[in-house]
Amino acid sequence: MGEEKKIKRRDYLKYTGAAIGGLVVGGALGYLLKPAEVIEKTVTAPGVTTTTTSVPSPTIAPGAITLEFWNFGGIDSEHAFLTYLVDEFNKKNPKIQVTRTQKSWMTKREDLITAWSAGTEPHVLSQDTGSLADFAEMGVYIPLSDVFTSDWYDIIKGPYVPEVLECVKYKDKYWGIPTYFDGSPFLVYNTKMFEEAGLVDSEGKAKPPETWDELIDYAKQLNKGEERWGILFPSTSYNDMVIFSSIAYQNGGRFLDPEGKRIEIDDLGWIDTLRLYADLRNKYKVASPGVTDMDYMKVIELFFSNKCAMAICMSWVPAIESAIGVKPGYPYKLTRFPTPKEKTGKYESTAMLMDATTTFYITSRHKYRKEAWEWLKWIHENVKYWGPNCPTGPIMGRMPALKWQYGQPEYEKVYPDIVKLYKEGKLFKGALPFPSFKGIVEIQEKILLEAVQAAVLGSKTPEEALKTAQPKAQTAYETA
């Protein structure tokens, strides 16, 4: 499995060149480079307007089956790799030809729902796992472990980190092929600023905060107001609420009670997490008043512009670093987000929540399941290259899905602390897949977001905001 793929230089330029161009929105990131050779069309539906980019494929041979594949989001290097994978698959399988359409991450849910309603959904697609429950309940996806049982357990399951496979599991069935996962919550910090402030260990190296109290203290020491904030956090989008929710889970919060009946975002685990956010901005004034207008991408851009010493984030920071062209050697490290001294929620503290952000699914309303499965098995064969060892150029900032990848030096260079935790058996200890249940997307991107904004802006206390949000979330859950 350790053997590297080799491609010719002209092919390398072909695939990487296909990813150099304008700006589009990406997978757990947000902003990407657009393939140069594309056909664009704008599709408008009630309440939805989105532009898609279709990457042309070679002429389809007579009698060949065409599989339509939609890819939502991704970074430029992933686009190049997917172009390469489509081309190689089509060469090896002249009777099965894949055509790829690049879709916006920001409208991934609306696009698929609109297509499903109109009967125009693709044969295969890549999506996150946070929305798995919604689409599985709608009947959009097929459960791979049920339809291709022998292949799933004999070929697919073994190489994966078991906890990553749990991300694609719903109602005891496995629904997709994951390529990597994004973990949350994390803290990115500027090591030079830490050292200059004396926030160091016994060897004089930057020492990250380990508790919420230390985080606040560090932010105070590092804060210079508008010149440089002590810390920034995002609070305007669905992904921002994924980060917030993962901190609440660290603090003993849960979306649902054990019986799966009550939404529990009014529990102390959530309230005190929201109080931390509000206090960073309002009480301690170590975060910009404008954080309520910042999404995760903006926050990390400001971090790499020396506008803050720390930022609350997910594991994809190296992907953003690569996408926005940060000069090599920027002094920073990525670590697990600090935990409260004592959790205040009533459930066990969770070390990390995981979302397999680019997972490949087969849709249910077509007769080409066998052919679609051949495409997914091809993806599975190449998951080992979804990282810095990718043959068409490094894919940065993606947490490995396969056990094998944690033993490779390329991954250890990108994620030294993460690989160390994996080898020590600590990385996935206490980690859970991001919760997936009907209605969670609406709860996250609308109801919870509204509550977080209200508390951070100071129009409601954290308790008031979440007590108001709970019945709305309950209704969204019960009527989804």
Q: pLDDT tens for residues 340-367? A: 999 999 999 999 999 999 999 999 999 9
Instruction: Annotate 180-198 with b (16+ C-beta within 10 A) or e (fewer).
Output: bbbbbbbbbbbbebbeeee
Contact in structure between 360 and 376 (CB atoms under 8 Å): yes
Q: What is the mean pLDDT of residues 286-315?
A: 97
The predicted structure's pLDDT at residue 61: 66
Question: Which are the contacts of 161, defined by CB distance < 8 A and separation ≥ 6?
Answer: 400, 401, 402, 403, 428
Tell me which residue of 434, 387, 444, 441 sits closest to 163, measured CA to CA. 434
Q: How many residues does the chain have?
A: 480
For residue 142, give Cα distances in angstroms to 73, 370, 385, 425: 22, 12, 26, 33
CA triple 369-375-381, angle to 5 deg:
135
Same-domain pairing of 349 and 365: no
Task: Decide if 211 is inside a domain.
Answer: yes
Task: Decide if 402 is inside a domain.
Answer: yes
User: pLDDT grade, residue 130 (50/70/90)?
Assistant: confident
Question: Which are the contacts of 210, defined by CB distance < 8 A and separation ≥ 6?
Answer: 338, 339
Same-domain pairing of 124 and 259: no
Tell me which residue of 8, 55, 89, 85 sits closest to 384, measured CA to CA. 85
Same-domain pairing of 383 and 336: no
Distance CA 366, CA 375 (A): 15
Distance CA 390, CA 406 (A): 15
Give the domain CATH number at 29. Answer: 3.40.190.10
Same-domain pairing of 45 and 140: yes
Same-domain pairing of 294 and 207: yes
Q: Which of 381, 401, 425 is the last residue of a domain?
A: 425
Q: What is the pLDDT of residues 303-339, one digit of tens each?
A: 999 999 999 999 999 989 988 999 999 999 999 899 9
Contact in structure between 108 and 48 (CB atoms under 8 Å): no
Q: Are strands 173-174 and 180-184 parallel, antiparallel or unpaired?
A: unpaired
pTM exceeds 0.75, yes or no: yes
> Does position 100 have pLDDT exceeding 50, yes or no?
yes
Backbone angles phi, psi at 391, to 5 degrees: -70, -20
- Which residue reads 């440089």 in tokens? 228
Contact in structure between 77 and 398 (CB atoms under 8 Å): no
Neighbours of 356 (CB within 10 A): 28
> Does position 468 have pLDDT exceeding 90, yes or no?
yes
The predicted structure's pLDDT at residue 25: 33
> Does position 58 have pLDDT exceeding 70, yes or no?
no
Same-domain pairing of 443 and 468: yes
Please state which of the ranges 122-126, 189-193, 388-392, 409-413 shows the lowest mean pLDDT: 409-413
Same-domain pairing of 293 and 213: yes
Distance CA 209, CA 338 (A): 6
User: pLDDT grade, residue 47 (50/70/90)?
Assistant: very low
Q: What is the rounded average pLDDT for all residues in the chain?
A: 88
Q: What is the mean pLDDT of residues 256-269?
A: 97
Same-domain pairing of 108 and 162: yes
Question: Which are the contacts of 71, defined by CB distance < 8 A and separation ≥ 6?
Answer: 79, 82, 100, 101, 102, 103, 125, 126, 358
Same-domain pairing of 388 and 475: no
Tell me which residue of 114, 112, 134, 133 sits closest to 123, measured CA to CA. 112
Task: Decide if 256 is inside a domain.
Answer: yes
The tally of domains found in the chain comes to 2
Question: Which are the contacts of 100, defined by CB distance < 8 A and separation ≥ 6?
Answer: 54, 55, 57, 69, 70, 71, 82, 83, 86
Same-domain pairing of 123 and 245: no
Same-domain pairing of 19 and 156: yes
The predicted structure's pLDDT at residue 59: 59
Q: Which of 400, 425, 450 is the last residue of a domain?
A: 425
The predicted structure's pLDDT at residue 55: 54
> Does position 445 have pLDDT exceeding 50, yes or no?
yes
Task: Decide if 3 is inside a domain.
Answer: no
Task: Decide if 57 is inside a domain.
Answer: yes
Contact in structure between 331 and 192 (CB atoms under 8 Å): yes
Task: Decide if 430 is inside a domain.
Answer: no
Backbone angles phi, psi at 159, to 5 degrees: -70, -15
Q: What is the mean pLDDT of residues 372-394?
A: 96
Containing domain of residue 53, as a range? 9-179+356-425
> Does position 23 have pLDDT exceeding 70, yes or no?
no
Same-domain pairing of 18 and 131: yes
Half-sphere exposure of residue 247: CA atoms within 13 angstroms, side-chain side: 26
User: pLDDT grade, residue 480 (50/70/90)?
Assistant: confident
Contact in structure between 34 and 22 (CB atoms under 8 Å): yes
Per the model's pLDDT, the better-predicted residue between 36 and 296 turns out to be: 296
Task: Decide if 418 is inside a domain.
Answer: yes
Task: Decide if 2 is inside a domain.
Answer: no
